[in-house]
Structure 1
Amino acid sequence: MYRNKVQIARLFGISTPTVSRRAKGIEEEIGKRYNDYAIIDGLISVAVFADYQKYHKRLADKNMRKYVPAFNMDEARSYMFIEKEVRVDEI
């Protein structure tokens, strides 16, 4: 599922400027960690955002980056349900 920045902010309980910063980070990871479908027409994949939200500090650190597991869509969805207790109809 894809959501706009305001919806992502509400879903994760964070500010819209934080979502914008994370979206820029996701864009920088396209081709490295995420595919071209991570962000489409300004809409952000909720699973990609969840993954980036969890690992963004480690991805930014060149020494820690190598310890970040490869992106896994199923694990990202699981993280959403465990950490945020998101209902299926929200994503």
Structure 2
Amino acid sequence: MVPLFLERLDAYTGLKKHFSDYYRQNVYVTPSGILSNPQLNFVLAEMDADHLIYSIDYPYKQPKNSRTFLNNTSLTSTQLEAFSHGNAERVFHLN
């Protein structure tokens, strides 16, 4: 999902901003079928909810709890809307 080494990458110099700033502004992450609240909370701590896109790794992974997962997250209604479909619609111009 999100590299655990963003802080370590920030040690590299020569960039106008920290590496983690570029990453957080330009990369979108998905759970890709890993539907657990600890994973989601970790990603939210590292990335803004506007850079999360819900996904299932179909046909390789077909979790039966995908809807239950969305219903039981600690996301606000705005974050849940962005995560479940809004960000994908914006990034892929689906509107």
Whichever structure has more strand as a proportion of its residues is 1
TM-score of the two chains, using structure 2 as the length reference: 0.22
Q: Could you say which structure has the greater relative contact order, defined with CA pairs below 8 angstroms and 6 or more residues apart?
A: 1
Whichever structure has more helix as a proportion of its residues is 1
Structure whose CA Rg is larger: 2
TM-score of the two chains, using structure 1 as the length reference: 0.23
